Chain A
C-alpha cells in the first residue's frame, strides 16, 4: 500500500499529493471552460462549445426537476462548477500514478524510522491521486454545500426553514437535527469512499502484474462510470437540499 507524503506545518498535516492533484484539477476545469467560450458562435459552434452547451442543458434539466423552473437560474453556475470539478477530479487518478520508492527515512514528508521498520525497510510514496480520494477534499466540498444550504434557507425562507425543524411534531426535533448533520456527512463520505475504494483496487490489481490486464481494463471502465455517477449524484443532492431548505414555500 502506498504512503502519502505529509508535510507537517505547525499543527497542520498537509498532504502534498492532494495539493498537487487539486491544483491540476482546478487548472484543467478552468482551461476547459475558457477554451469552450472562445469564438462563441450561434451558427457554427465548435465541438467544445457544443459539448459545454449540452452540459449546461443537462444541468439545467435536472435542477428543474427539483425546483420550480423560474427559480433555477441562480443555481445553474453552482451546479455546473460542482459537476465539472468533481467529474474531472474523479478521473485524475485513473490514467497513471507517480510512486517514489525509498529505503531511508525522509522526515520532511513524514516517513519516520518506525514506519520504515514496520514496512520492512521499503516504503512506496505516492505523489499523485484523485483529489476526491482524500477525505479532506470531499469534506471541504460538503462543508461548502452545508454553508450554502443553511445560509440560503435562513435568508430566503426564514419562517418555514426554522419551522421545519419542528415538523411534523415538536417531539421530532432531535431526529430533524440528526438529519441535518447526516446530510453533509453522507455527501462527503459517499464521494470519498467510492473514489478511494476504486483507487485501492487499482493498486491491488497492479500487484498481479501482467495477468491483471483484463481486470484492469474492466475496472478502469467501471471507475469511469462510477466517477460520472458520483459527480452527478453530489450535484443533484446539493440541489435537492437547497430546494428543500430554501424553495419549498411555493408548494405549501
Chain B
C-alpha cells in the first residue's frame, strides 16, 4: 500500500510540475520573441516562477520517499 502511495504522490506531483513549468516557459519564450532586449529580466523572472511552482510537487516527492522507505 505504501508503494502505491509513493507512486501516486510522485506521479501526480510530476503532472502538476510539468504542466505548470510548461506554461511558464512558453509564456517567457513568447515574451522574449516579442521583445528580445528584455531577455535577461524575463529569464530571471522565469526561474523565480519555476522555483515557486515546483515547491509543492517537490514536497510531494519527499513525502513519496518517506512512504517508500517505510514500506
Contacts and interface: CB of A to CB of B under 8 A. Distances in A.
Interface of A: 1, 62, 65, 186, 189-190, 192-194, 196-197, 200, 229-230, 232-233, 236-237
Contact of B58 (A65, A194, A229, A237): A194
Chain B contact-residue range equals 10 to 19
Contacts of B55: 186, 189-190, 193
Interface stretch (B22-30, B31-39, B44-52): B44-52
A219 B10 CA distance: 18
Interface of B: 41, 44, 47-48, 50-51, 54-55, 58-59, 61-62, 65, 69
Which secondary structure characterizes the binding site on chain B? helix
B62 A193 contact: yes
Nearest to A233: B51
Which secondary structure characterizes the binding site on chain A? helix
A65 B41 CA distance: 9
A190 B51 CA distance: 8
A35 B44 CA distance: 30
A190 B41 CA distance: 23
5 contacts: A1-B69, A193-B61, A196-B62, A229-B50, A237-B51
